[in-house]
């Protein structure tokens, strides 16, 4: 590891202090596969209420999340695979749904894979036609992360993974050091914290690409109720890439100010949702921004974040041919993504908040998925 990156990772970890004590939790590591000669592990986190979370060090990927329902029946509620090789199948690579990965350096689209900063034009890799998507051909979700630490704190099972992205990777400037910390708490939360530093100004927007289905994939997510604390979303241009234009949600199918079923919204917006909602959070405080619930199972998920917005995606493009090894079927509208992040295409949008990370700054963002049943 280069000296710069060693120093920066050390600085980042100082912000993650937690006293390690024995608690009524568990965390363990098992072998998951091999990738380019490196050992891939899977970390199993469990709390005392029956929640079970699995994370791979390939892509810092959430591979499995099991949660009880109101009757105590535990079910899988996220899209992923039990075998590492399944993430490299022809169908998965063709569809490339980013199941459960930590996406970056920059989430969502950058138009033409290009942006200007400091009088210089930067050309990034193009992996979505003429555009750049989710960090490029081999973003952070398709790279090996290294273990920093896994342990039990007083009320959480904790996993910390680190990665270094050298200057020029996928076209991005600056040597970047990133830490992601997962916590599964006794309060039934999955807390995800991102920390990063750079030695040159770089755009940075990390997001988590988990797909959730609170009915355990027994049906589509059209029977889910959604409530989002947002008055506006960013309107896409003719090429479906955002240009910073705000559109009010009031009176439209995109209005989730009051909780409503997705099936009711779909009556008007038949193609589903791929909307980036803007939050009123200029001070970047951790605040509740959304609630997703499923009445029959009793499961619900509240989302808290420090980010300026989030993309609600209802799986329009997910292949119906994708399934977990036990037969759990994925496919169109079978899951919800709620991707908290900076503005999509933010480097090309004037005054988009916190789009660039500067040398000497610490990128520090948190998203929490809090479950109940």
CB 61 within 8 A of CB 209: no
Specify whether 339 is catalytic. Answer: yes
Confirm if 43 and 65 have CB atoms less than 8 A apart.
no
Residue 129 burial (CB count, 10 A): 11
CA 26 and chain centroid, separation: 24
Look at residues 109, 95, 315, 338 and name the one whose alpha carbon lies nearest to residue 205.
Answer: 109
Coil, helix or strand at residue 241: coil
CA 177 – CA 309 distance, rounded (Å):
24
Q: Return the half-sphere exposure (C-beta side, CA atoms, 13 A cut-off) of residue 238.
A: 0
Structure tokens at 198: 């750079």
The answer to whether the CB of 57 falls within 8 A of the CB of 41 is yes
Single out the catalytic residue among 209, 224, 275, 294. 209
| Coil, strand or helix at 167 | coil
**What pairs with residue 366 in β-bridges?**
193
Distances (CA, A) of 185 to 3, 307, 319: 34, 21, 33
Between vectors from CA 285 to CA 78 and to CA 353, what angle results, nearest 5°? 90
Task: Determine contact, residues 50/39, Cβ cutoff 8 Å.
Answer: no
Which residues make Cβ contacts (< 8 Å) with residue 372, sequence separation at least 6? 188, 299, 300, 302
Q: How many CB atoms lie within 10 A of CB 47?
A: 21
- Residue from 100, 104, 182 nearest 140 by CA: 104
Is residue 209 part of the annotated active site? The answer reads yes
Catalytic machinery residues: 209, 339
């Amino acid at each position: 590891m280069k000296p710069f990156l060693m120093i920066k990772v050390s600085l980042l970890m100082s912000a993650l202090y937690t006293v390690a004590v024995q608690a009524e939790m568990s965390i363990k590591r098992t072998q998951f596969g091999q990738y380019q000669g490196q050992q891939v592990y899977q970390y199993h986190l469990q709390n005392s209420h029956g929640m079970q979370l699995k994370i791979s060090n390939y892509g810092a990927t959430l591979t499995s999340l099991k949660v009880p329902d109101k009757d105590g029946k535990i079910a899988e509620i996220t899209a992923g695979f039990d075998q590492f090789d399944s993430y490299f199948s022809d169908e998965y690579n063709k569809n490339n749904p980013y199941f459960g990965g930590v996406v970056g350096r920059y989430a969502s689209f950058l138009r033409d894979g290009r942006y200007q900063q400091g009088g210089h034009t930067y050309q990034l890799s193009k992996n979505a036609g003429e555009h750049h998507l989710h960090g490029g051909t081999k973003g952070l979700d398709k790279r090996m992360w290294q273990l920093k630490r896994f342990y039990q704190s007083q009320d959480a099972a904790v996993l910390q993974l680190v990665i270094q992205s050298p200057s020029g990777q996928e076209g991005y400037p600056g040597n970047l050091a990133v830490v992601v910390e997962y916590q599964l708490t006794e309060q039934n939360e999955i807390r995800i914290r991102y920390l990063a530093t750079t030695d040159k100004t770089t755009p940075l927007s990390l997001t988590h690409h988990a797909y959730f289905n609170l009915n355990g994939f027994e049906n589509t997510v059209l029977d889910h109720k959604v409530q989002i604390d947002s008055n506006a979303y960013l309107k896409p241009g003719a090429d479906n890439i955002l240009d910073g234009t705000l559109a009010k949600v009031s009176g439209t199918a995109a209005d989730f100010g009051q909780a409503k079923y997705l099936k009711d919204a779909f009556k008007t917006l038949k193609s589903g949702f791929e909307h980036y909602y803007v939050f009123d959070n200029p001070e970047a405080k951790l605040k509740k921004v959304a609630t997703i619930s499923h009445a029959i199972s009793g499961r619900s998920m509240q989302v808290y974040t420090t980010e300026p917005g989030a993309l609600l995606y209802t799986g329009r493009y997910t292949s119906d041919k994708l399934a977990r090894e036990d037969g759990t079927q994925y496919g169109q509208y079978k899951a919800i993504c709620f991707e908290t992040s900076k503005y999509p295409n933010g480097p090309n949008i004037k005054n988009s908040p916190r789009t660039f990370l500067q040398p000497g700054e610490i990128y520090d963002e948190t998203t929490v998925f809090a479950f109940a049943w």
